Structure formats: structure tokens, C-alpha cells
Structure 1
Amino acid sequence: MDFVAGAIGGVCGVAVGYPLDTVKVRIQTEPKYTGIWHCIRDIYRQERVRGFYRGLSLPVCTVSLVSSVSFGSYHHCLEHICCFRYGSAEAKPAKADVTLSGCASGLVRVFLTSPTEVAKVRLQTQTQVQERQEGQPSASGPSVSSPVCPVPGPKYRGPLHCLTTVAREEGLQGLYKGSSALLLREGHSFATYFLSYAVLCEWLTPAGHSQPDVLGVLVAGGCAGVLAWAVATPMDVIKSRLQADGQGHRRYRGLLHCVVTSVREEGLRVLFRGLAVNCCRAFPVNMAVFVTYEAVLRLTRGLLT
């Protein structure tokens, strides 16, 4: 049941948070943006509402599987740890058990999410890449006799076309570009995610009850999401830059080179680009994820008893 509840919760989370995810990726990969509202205005002015939903179809199709695996692997790992340490899957886990299970859940996600993350980032950023590649007029101005060249269309026509193009041009490794940063991001962020949710649920559970009420779940889920993204943002910046780097001129040779180059050119604060929008997005998204997840679990348990 954890797999089903996680799948439904994940879809609800994507529906709530995708526009701000696009804003986050643009801020992380394009230095021209000075803040969230600058980025939002620029996207809306150039691409209107659909600009916020570039690359949405693939995450919607895959998020149910990814979220299902995340929550399912977390609970199965936790059950096995409890069986091994305490002799029963129903035993109350320690904080270290929750942390280890959350970390394992995050690492499992990487193998499923890396290709979809590559496609999402490429689609979210290809408009600004296309603008750079078109170039600027020469200093002498356009020649009257120069032939009119058609403006090239976008390189990627959609998520599936993006995946096949990346695989054809860059090989299978292109689909896992940035996976080292993704591994570092997901491991400790999901450990923080599940641990903070468990701790907050304990604090928010009324006396005499075994679980928090709906408001408690909403608060715990939203805060857990914010904390997880707070620790994930530095590696998220590097991941986005590595994945967007396959378009046009390639700048980064790998994770460490990307970190050093980014910090040298833009300062240490570059590792926290998009932190505000990540946190703003994380609260409502994870409120939706956890309240849906808990509701589906309670419903299915009620039907089975």
C-alpha cells in the first residue's frame, strides 16, 4: 500500500509545484536573473503561461513510479532494519533507522530520475540556449543585401524526442549526466526529509493519539520538504548546470570542475541560487504529497480491515 499511496501523493505534488520548479531551474542555470520575480516576469513575457510547464508531461508520466519507489523502498528498508535490530517490523524505529532508510530511498531514486531530470532541465532551459546561439547583430548593423535566414526552431520537440536525441548524440551516459551530483543531492536530502517528517509528526501528535491530525500532517510535510531542499540546493545547482551543459558549448568536465568554476566565477552564493524558490515550492508541494499519502494509507487500511 505504501507504493500506491506514494504514487498518488507524488502526482499531486508535481501538479502543485511544477511552475516554480521551472523558475528554479532557470535561476540556477542562467546568471542573468536577479531574483524570483525577475525570472517569473521574464518567462511570462517571452513564453506566457506555457513557459512554466515546459517538460511537464514526462514528470507526470514518471512521477507516480518514482514516488512509489521512494516511499515504498523507505518503508521496506525501515521494516527490514527493525526486524534485524528489534526482531519485529512493527517495532518503533530509532532516529538513526529512519535516517538510514531515508538515505537508501533517495539513492534508489537516482537510477529512475536521472534521465527524466536531464529531459526536464533541457526542455526548461532550451529557450534561453536558443537565444544565445542565435547571437547578436554585428556592430556594423545588418546588411541590406544579406539573405534572410529562418529562425531555427527548438532543438527538442518534447520529452521523448529530447531523450532520444540525447541518447543518440551523447550516448547512454548523456541520459545520466549529472547523476553524481544527483546521488549526493538525493542521499542526504531524503534522509533529512523522512527524519524531519517523523520527528515533526511526533511533536504534532495530540496526547492520547497515535498519529497527528490533518493539520499536523500538512505542517509536518511542508516543513520536511523545506528542510530537505535547504540541504539539497547546493548539489541541485550543480546537477542542473551539468545536465543543461549538453546544449551548445560544453563548459564543465565533471562535478568538481563545475563546482570550482561556478564558485570562482559567481562566488560561493552561487551554490544557493534557487534556495528561496525551492523552499517556497517545497512547502505546498510536500503538504500535498504527505496529506495525500496519509489519506490513501488510512483509506486502504480501513477497506482492508
Structure 2
Amino acid sequence: MDFVAGAIGGICGVAVGYPLDTVKVRIQTEPNYSGIWNCVRDTYRRERVWGFYRGLSLPVCTVSLVSSVSFGTYHHCLVRMCRLRYGSADAKPARTDITLSGFASGLVRVILTSPTEVAKVRLQTQTQAQAQAQVRAQLQAQAQCWRSSASCPALPVTLGSGPKYRGPLHCLATVAREEGLRGLYKGSSALLLRDSFSFATYFLSYSILCEWLAPTGRSQPDVLGVLMAGGCAGVLAWAVATPMDVIKSRLQADGQGGQRFRGLLHCLVASVREEGPRVLFKGLALNCCRAFPVNMVVFVTYEAVLRLTGTLLK
């Protein structure tokens, strides 16, 4: 049942938080934005409402599977640990058990989410201005080639052409063709660090907050308590995740018009050297603002589905 509840909760969460996720990715990867509102105004001015939903279709199609695996893995690991350590799956888990199960949940997600994240980030950061910049760069290279009287290949893109990626599936196919299978898992090392530690924080903080907010004599809080615990757990998880999320987004956006970073460490060092340590917390405020309502919805839906299915199966 945790797999089903997690899937439904994940879909509800992505529907609530996707527009702010687009703004967050653009702030992290495009240095020309001075802040959140500057990015929001610029995106709306150039692309209208649709600009905030670029790349949404693939996450919606895959989030049910990913969220199902995340919550299912967490619950499965927790049950196994309780059986091994305490002899019963119904025993109350220690905080160490919850942390390790959350860590395992984050690790498993990476296999499924890395290609989706690559397509999402590429589509979110793709604008017509970038397409035009690519054309200008290609024209300059062609002109330089002619001046040197060298053999010049034909231009791969013509003036007036549209964006490079026409949609999520086209983006995945293009990345696989141009960059190979490794391109689909670009930034996976940063994604691994982001998800493992953030999901350990996520489930541990949710568990602790539920204990604090539960009425006297009850093991679970009411609906308001679940909303508060879920929202706060999401904020704490993103506070832990944001530095690696910045690096992950930059690595995955890299490759549009030339590769800039050689890997995680090079991206980290180059970003800090050029923009200072504050660059690692770009989008932190936005992540936290987005995380609270999204994870309120995720956990209240998750708990409601668990209770409903539990009642129906009795």
C-alpha cells in the first residue's frame, strides 16, 4: 500500500510545485537573473504561463513510479530493520533506522530520476534566446572557417530554427544520440548526494515532528499536524539538498552549446570561484517556499490513501 500511496502523493505534489521548480532551475543555471521576481517576470514576459511548465509532461508520467519506489523502499527497509533488530515488523523503529531507510530511499531514486532530471532541466533552461545565441555562435565559427580557407562543414542549424528540444522524449533521444548513455546520467553523482542525504533528513524530520504534534495518547497527529509535519520536513530536506541541487542543475544543463564542466568537483570549484560560496545556496528561499505546500500535499495525500486502503482491506 505504501507504493500506491506514495505514487498518488507524488503526482499531487508535482502538480503543486512545478512552476516554482522551473524558476528555481533557471535561477541556478542562468546568472543573468538578479532574483526570483526578476526570473518570474522575465519568464512570463517572454513565454507566458506555458514557460513555467516546460518539461512537465515527463515528470508527471514518471513521478508516480519514482514516488512509489521512494516511499515503498523506505517502508520496506524500515520493516526489514525492525524485524532484524527487534524481532517484529510492528516494533517502534529507532531514529537511526528511519535515517538509514530514508538514505536508501534516496539512493534508489537516482536510477529512475536522472534521465528525467536531465530532460527537465534542459527544457526548463531552453529559451528562444538560447537558440538564437547558438545560431550566432555557429555563424561566427563558419565565418572564421571561411577566412582561414579551411574545409567547412555545413551549418547544422539554420536561422529561424526553433528550440533544440521539441519535447521530453525528443530531448532524451537527442541527448542519447549526441552525448551517449552517459549524457542521460549527467550530474548523477550530485543527484546521488542530494537525494540520499535529503531523504534521510526528510523522513527523519517528518517522523520526529509527527511525534511532537500527535495529541496525548495517540501515535499519529491529526490532519493539521500531518500538514505541518510534511511541510516542515520538506523545507528541512531542501535546506540540506540545495547545494548539491545547484551543482546537479548546472551539470545537467551543461552541454547546450558546448561543455563547460568536467565533473562534479570541477563544477563545484569553478562555481564557487566565479560567484562565491553563496552560489551553492541559489534558489534556497524558493526551494523552501515551494517545499512547504508541496510536501504538505504529498504527506496528507499519502496518509489519507494509507488510511483509506487500510479501512477497505479490513
- The letter for the 1-side match of 2:241 is A
**Aligned with 2:205 (options 196, 199, 204):** 196
The 5-angstrom pairing of residues 122-137 of structure 1 reads 122-127=122-127, 129-135=130-136
Q: For 1:126 and 1:53, how far apart are their aligned partners in 2?
A: 12
Which residue number corresponds to residue 55 of structure 1?
55
Q: How far did 1:131 drift? A: 4.5
* Structure 1 residues 150 and 135, CA gap change in structure 2 (3 angstroms): closer
Pairing 1:213–2:214 present: no
1:8 paired residue number: 8
2:192 matched residue in structure 1: 183
Secondary structure class of the residue paired with 2:90: coil
Aligned to 1:44: 44
Amino acid at match of 1:204: L
Q: Does 1:260 align with 2:269?
A: yes
CA separation in 2, counterparts of 1:27 and 1:132?
19
Partner Cα distance (2:76, 2:216) in 1: 28
Percent of matched pairs sharing the same residue: 81
Structure 2 residue identity aligned to 1:297 = L
Write the distance in 1 (CA, Å) between the matches of 2:71 and 2:161. Answer: 43
* Number of positions where the alignment pairs a residue of Structure 1 with one of Structure 2: 294
2:135–2:159 contact (8 Å) kept in structure 1: no
So what's the TM-score if we normalise by structure 2? Answer: 0.92
Structure 1 residue 68 corresponds to structure 2 residue 68: yes
Paired residue secondary structure (2:292):
helix
Query: Does 2:232 align with 1:231?
Result: no
Q: In structure 1, what residue type is equivalent to 2:287?
A: N
- In structure 2, runs of 5+ residues without a counterpart are 138-157
Give me the whole-angstrom Cα distance separating, in 2, the residues matched to 1:236 and 1:150. Answer: 34
**SS of match in other structure, 1:92:** coil
Quick one: which amino acid aligns to residue 62 of structure 1?
Answer: T
Structure 2 equivalent of residue 277 of structure 1: 286
TM-score normalised by the chain length of structure 1: 0.95
Q: Which residue of 1 aligns with 2:23?
A: 23
Residue 121 (structure 1) aligns with: 121
CA distance in 2, matches of 1:105, 1:34: 35
Query: Aligned AA for 1:14?
Result: V
* 1:150, distance to aligned residue in structure 2 (A): 3.3
Contact 2:235 2:288 in 1 (8 A): yes
Residue 134 (structure 1) shift:
4.3
Deviations 1:160-214 (A, max 9, x none): 0000111111111100000000000001000000000000000000001121000
CA shift for structure 1 position 87: 0.5
Q: Shift in Å at residue 126 of structure 1? A: 1.2
Residues 206 and 252 of structure 1: CA distance in aligned 2, closer, same or farther (over 3 Å): same
Unaligned runs of 5+ in 1: 137-148
Q: Measure the CA separation in 2 of the matches of 1:88 and 1:276.
A: 42
1:135 to partner: Cα distance: 4.3
Deviation at 1:130, TM superposition (A): 2.1
Q: Cα deviation per residue 1:117-149 (whole Å; 9 max; x = unaligned)?
A: 00000000111532532449xxxxxxxxxxxx7
Inter-partner Cα distance in structure 1 for 2:265 and 2:130: 23
Give the aligned residue type for 1:5: A
User: d(CA) in 1 for partners of 2:104 and 2:130?
Assistant: 35
CA distance in 2, matches of 1:259, 1:133: 25
Partner deviation per Cα, 1:22-76 (whole Å, 9 max, x = no partner): 0000000001111111100000000000000000000000000000000000000
- Give the alignment's Cα RMSD to 1 decimal: 1.2
Amino acid of the structure 2 residue aligned with 1:292? T
Q: Which segments of structure 1 move beyond 4 Å, counting only runs of 4 or more? A: none
Equivalent-residue separation in structure 2 for 1:211 and 1:132 (angstroms): 55
Residue 247 of structure 2 contacts residue 267 of structure 2 at CA under 8 Å; is this kept in 1?
yes
Corresponding residue number in structure 2 for 1:164: 173
- Report SS of the residue matched to 1:74: helix
- The letter for the 2-side match of 1:122 is R
